[in-house]
Structure 1
Amino acid sequence: MRPSSSKLTFHKMHGLGNDFVIVDARQHAVTMTDELVRALANRRTGIGCDQLIQLEPSQEADFAMRIFNADGSEVEACGNAARCVTQLVGHEAQIATTGGTISGTPDDTGATLDMGEPRFDWDTIPLAYAMDTTNMPVRWEELTNPIAVNIGNPHVIFFVEDTASVDLARLGPIVENDPLFPERINVNVATVESDGSITLRVWERGTGLTRACGTGACATTVAAVRRKLVSGRETTVHLPGGDLAISWEPGQEVRMTGPAAHVFTGEIELDDFL
């Protein structure tokens, strides 16, 4: 059902340039179709965003967060969005997603999240068939021997000498849509720097090249720890939009700290987009 009024209030926020339209539907339900998501996310004729986030009531947590990509597809988790939502509500919260429950604590500039424990089994990524997810015997041109991690949503990580040299705009959609990944996949190319930090670029499933991906930074840090490339106690991940601090040790939850920014609050007539 839709609210009795066709007016819809929204918040525009971003985490390191990964931008969101956030709709609070905890009091008044909003039916978010893929067509409506695409219309709102359109940067020329809509509000414009990488993802649309809808807050809903939850019996298991303080509230639920649904995540829709700009193409209308619904996905399981988004770390940058979770930081923005935590900053928006302004208090410590348990946030239910279809990828698991996230704990968020706001601060003056952003939030810290406990993202849960990563998953590594081939059928939890998921892959189409069994293989070692720590050193996958597959390649797409120069992208070879990746590692797969599920951090609430699926990621494949390639460690390369220079992230800038990879034509991710071309290779990203090829990997994303390969039959090996029945639910498609987020594609990360990463370089471990001499100081132990990680430089990362991400092709995000259903969105494309993005300035930042929180779950990608988490998954890549986990992958680097598993490959013994970093210690994991606290790793700085450099993304095109800025830096995130990620920490993880085997058997523990992944912890992420980073900024979130409120851009503006607006109101639209839903009928204009239906």
Structure 2
Amino acid sequence: MHGAGNDFVVIDLRGSQPAPTPALARALGDRHTGVGFDQLLTIEDPVGPGSVARYRIWNTDGSAAQQCGNGARCVAAWLRRDGAATGPRFRLDSPAGPIDVDVLPEGHYALGMGRPEFRPERIPLQAAAEAAVYELPLATGAVRFGAVSMGNPHALIEVASAADAPIATLGPALQARPEFPEGVNVGFAQVLAPDRIRLRVHERGAGETLACGSGACAAVAVLVRQGRVGRRVAVELPGGTLDITWPADDAGITMAGPAAFVFEGELGQP
């Protein structure tokens, strides 16, 4: 499946089937000798009251992830097709907590992604105090960025051109800084207008992806806080556009976008 080009292998494990091992996730994630994906998602029995299902997330390096907005929309589409999720709204259990899903026309879904968390200790980011803009020294010079958690850590760098941003070098360099003890997803945002930005994201454990739902939410949260954009923003990613709304500082962020089925198969034995 994919959501705005962010591609996934989705495995239905409801009924208490065992979760994949990190080694299996790495094997399936290899785009030459496996299937290939940005993240592996498992659909499992719910843990919260009123939830339809639980999902978990693995990166291509076998590490676990806390949130994946594009993947959550794909899980929602799977459960709608399966018949487990009915009605215009339902709830999913994610590694970062419960999220509410609204069914939109034409295969789109809107997700309640929760409130952004700017406190450094909750991102986590080792910093003396909370700030709208942080600065760290790198081998190529100082880098200025905003930071936020959307259930997973994000750093956002504003650039003049997203197309020309040094993602392949600056992304891993910032991710490797000890100030981010759990790593960080690094976004590069170009502000086109108060209601539109262009974004590319280098995800921890996966590299650059065609879209990052939590990264789009994080970008809007940071840029709103810096006074660079309004409360409703179209985020153009290489794989498609996501609509992000943050009505107020004390409200949660909503992300809307597509989910698509690509192909289905059966995992064979080695």
Describe how 1:104-183 pairs up with structure 2 within 5 A: 104-107=101-104, 108-140=106-138, 141=140, 144-183=143-182
Q: What does the per-residue CA deviation read over 1:143-182, in whole Å, with 9 as the maximum and x for residues that have no partner?
A: 6221111011110001111122221011111111211100
SS in structure 2 at match of 1:174: helix
SS in structure 2 at match of 1:225: helix
Kindly indicate whether residue 253 of structure 2 is the aligned counterpart of residue 259 of structure 1.
no
Q: Which letter maps to 2:124?
A: P
Q: Which letter maps to 1:134?
A: A
SS in structure 2 at match of 1:264: coil
Q: Which letter maps to 2:197?
A: I
Structure 1 counterpart of 2:243: 245
**Matched-pair contact (CA < 8 Å) for 2:19–2:42:** no
CA distance in 2, matches of 1:149, 1:199: 18
**Matched-pair contact (CA < 8 Å) for 2:147–2:154:** yes
Question: Aligned pairs, how many?
Answer: 258
**Matched-pair contact (CA < 8 Å) for 1:157–1:220:** yes
**Matched-pair contact (CA < 8 Å) for 1:86–1:105:** no
Structure 2 counterpart of 1:71: 61
Out of 61-70 and 139-148, give the one that drifted further. 139-148
Deviation of 1:196 (Å)? 3.1
Out of 170-179 and 200-209, give the one that drifted further. 170-179
Kindly indicate whether residue 72 of structure 2 is the aligned counterpart of residue 82 of structure 1.
yes
- RMSD over aligned Cα, in angstroms? 1.5
Deviation of 1:193 (Å)? 0.8
SS in structure 1 at match of 2:265: strand
Q: Which letter maps to 2:226?
A: R
Deviation of 1:230 (Å)? 1.1
**Matched-pair contact (CA < 8 Å) for 1:110–1:261:** no
Structure 2 counterpart of 1:5: none
Q: What does the per-residue CA deviation read over 1:178-224, in whole Å, with 9 as the maximum and x for residues that have no partner?
A: 11100000000101113631110100110001100000000000111
CA distance in 2, matches of 1:160, 1:143: 14
Question: CA 1:142–1:168 in 2, change beyond 3 Å: closer, same or farther?
Answer: farther
Deviation of 1:44 (Å)? 1.2
SS in structure 2 at match of 1:152: coil
**Matched-pair contact (CA < 8 Å) for 1:139–1:145:** no
CA distance in 2, matches of 1:236, 1:192: 11
**Matched-pair contact (CA < 8 Å) for 1:35–1:72:** yes
Kindly indicate whether residue 110 of structure 2 is the aligned counterpart of residue 100 of structure 1.
no
Out of 115-124 and 26-35, give the one that drifted further. 26-35
**Matched-pair contact (CA < 8 Å) for 1:95–1:101:** yes
Out of 193-202 and 34-43, give the one that drifted further. 193-202
Q: What does the per-residue CA deviation read over 1:39-59, in whole Å, with 9 as the maximum and x for residues that have no partner?
A: 111111111111000111122
Structure 2 counterpart of 1:236: 234
Structure 1 counterpart of 2:52: 62
Out of 185-194 and 56-65, give the one that drifted further. 56-65
Superposed structure 1 runs of 4+ greater than 6 Å apart: none
Structure 1 counterpart of 2:19: 31
Could you tell me the TM-score, scaled by structure 1's length? 0.90
Q: Percent identity?
A: 40
Could you tell me the TM-score, scaled by structure 2's length? 0.91
SS in structure 2 at match of 1:87: helix
CA distance in 2, matches of 1:128, 1:194: 32
Q: Which letter maps to 2:12?
A: D
